[in-house]
Chain A
Amino acid sequence: MARIERFRISHTRKLDSAYRYVTEAAEAGVILNTGTFAGGRDVRVDGVTLKNFGSCSYMALERMPELRDAAHAALDEYGTQFHFSRAYVQCSLYQELDALLEQLTGRPVVVAASTSLAHMAALPVLVRDGDQIVIDQFAHASLHTAVQLLPGVPLEVMRHNRMDILDEFLTKRRSQAGKVWYVCDGLYSMLGDFAPIADLKALLDRHDDLRLYIDDAHATSWVGRNGRGVALDHFEHDERVVVALSLNKAFSAAGGVLALPNRELVARIRRCGGPMLFSGPIQPPMLGAAVGSAKLHLSPGFADLQADLAGRLDLCVSALGDTMLDVTAARSPIFQVRCDSPRVAFAIAEQMKERGFYCCVCVFPAVPMNRPGLRFTVTRHNQPEDIVSFLSALNDSASDALAEVMRTGHTHSMVVEKDPGAAESVA
């Protein structure tokens, strides 16, 4: 683990580096695109209709009548905005949403305008003087941002999912006062793997001072009882665990939820969590959509929707076995195909567009420099025949792109200067 000293690489330099890397990907045309809705199964990206394997709408709820009708009703009643800070007056839809989400999660909840703002509200309240934070190196960027809001709290970054290191750390500091907050994702958004839940449970059993803060945004809705994610299914009754869910992504509305172990914490975060007092509320139409989505999640038929997605995931995992793709994923809607280099990832993405499919590149700084790849998602929008043809196209594109990069990439990047001003290709 590394104690973050915050001096080796300056803030400005990090921003400048990020700008350079993002600009390279943007100039390759693989990020910062513009899209229009084309039904979910398809998406129009920069004017071209493509089969959609890049969205986070895992449950394909965004056009279901339960959500649209609720959004329309809220729009009719409140208009587009409820013009109060929640510190003064909150829209009454919040009360309805709170009640539904408490039923859904089995816990007292606080709803925030986004999951990121939920982290920023909760962590400074949860972590007390004398506590320490250990954060997984691949925890979502919003968590890394939120833990920076706690000056004076020792912050350690830990290698991904290395429970042996966490165990050793906890054992070494056993006699010290204060708690250790381990901050992680439930499902990692780029690599598509889960936090080691069973190992975390074992650590909670062994270390009284361990507390967990789990961002389960990407596991919300598609997994768990009533779509409450992977963490709450295992830690619902554990007072030492706080879970954040997303009302965006698969939930198809807006906002974030903190599922808290008791009402005292609800009151503390609601009353002194910065963004709860100083940030704007969720707009009424999206609050209405969240209420509609929560009701759908609590309906008897919701498990069938989850099973429907599970069937498509099984199909994808099975079909991947017929390809040569190097895929790292647990059984989740997020898959990453490892590539030799960003050049290869960009070339595959381009070839997939030409073959009629949209998927995402994932390169540094979104993933480590040695993990460039293609990230694709499987949602209920994806028809079984689309999944099979997508993987076939991806397999072909991966092979073709590598050959193309080897043929042309080296020609452009490898030159030998015989003498100043003269150059020839090595290839």
Chain B
Amino acid sequence: MCDSSCTNHVAMNAVGIGKQAEAQVDDLMRLFYEVISFEDGGAPDWQSMEGLFSSHARITRITPEAIDYMDLTAFKNMAEEMIELGAFTSFHEREIGRRADRFGNVMHVASAYETKISPDAVDYIERGVNSLQLVSENGGWKIVSLCWDDHAPFSMAGLHKVGGGV
């Protein structure tokens, strides 16, 4: 199990990413999970979310039944419809593990998450890994692709713990 003391993935990646980029990605990922989460009766902070994504971004959601290929607007429409139909009345997701690899102005982030009914819930509803591609746009890192499989077997392989991990 890799954690913050891991000398394989984290240190190697940190050197590759660069300290400034690493801090930016930390902020980006923290905001990414903050803006998608909301309390009962609320909604994701769509305006802030828009600021995290490139205007060219694609979002891909894989479920056992089908694959959704979306842009941010389509994702917002789908999420809002699910909320209004009652699939969720609140949403709490946090990052529990990460690996980031930089290739110039491109970065790949594998971000493990867990979804809970509330931040202080003991057990989780779902765990999974978001696969994100970031591009450096105008001096900042933006998400150009977000992809996840709703029901893939969960694994922390190659990831280091974030926020206390699991």
Contact = CB atoms under 8 A, between A and B. Distances in A.
Interface of A: 1-2, 4-5, 8-10, 13, 16-17, 20, 137-138, 157-160, 162, 338, 340-344, 364-365, 368-372, 402, 405-406, 409-410, 413-418, 426
Contacts of B122: 340, 402, 406
B43 to A, nearest CB: 10
A410 B123 CA distance: 9
B85 interface: yes
A337 B46 CA distance: 32
Nearest to B156: A416
26 contacts: A8-B77, A17-B65, A157-B84, A159-B41, A160-B89, A340-B124, A341-B121, A341-B123, A341-B124, A342-B125, A365-B87, A368-B88, A370-B89, A370-B92, A370-B125, A371-B117, A372-B117, A402-B122, A402-B123, A406-B122, A406-B123, A409-B123, A413-B127, A414-B156, A417-B155, A426-B1
Interface string B53-65: 0000000000111
B81 A426 contact: no
Contact of B154 (A157, A160, A341, A414): A414
A138 B124 CA distance: 23
B157 interface: yes
Contacts of A159: 41, 84, 89
B71 interface: no
A260 to B, nearest CB: 29
B10 to A, nearest CB: 15
Contacts of B1: 416, 426
Interface string B37-73: 0000100000000000000000000011110000000
B139 interface: no
A124 B121 CA distance: 44
A409 B84 CA distance: 31
Contacts of B66: 10, 13
A2 B84 contact: yes
B contact face: mostly helix, strand, loop, or mixed: loop
Interface in B101-157: 116-117, 121-125, 127, 153-157
B80 interface: yes
A154 to B, nearest CB: 14
Given A8-B78, A414-B156, A426-B1, A344 B123 contact: yes
Contacts of B117: 338, 340-341, 370-372
B91 interface: yes
A370 B64 contact: no
Contacts of B166: 410, 414, 426
Contacts of A340: 116-117, 121-125
A310 to B, nearest CB: 30
A410 B83 CA distance: 28
B52 to A, nearest CB: 23
Contact of A413 (B80, B88, B154): B154
A47 B124 CA distance: 33
Nearest to A403: B122
Given A370-B90, A371-B117, A426-B166, A2 B123 contact: no
B65 A16 contact: yes
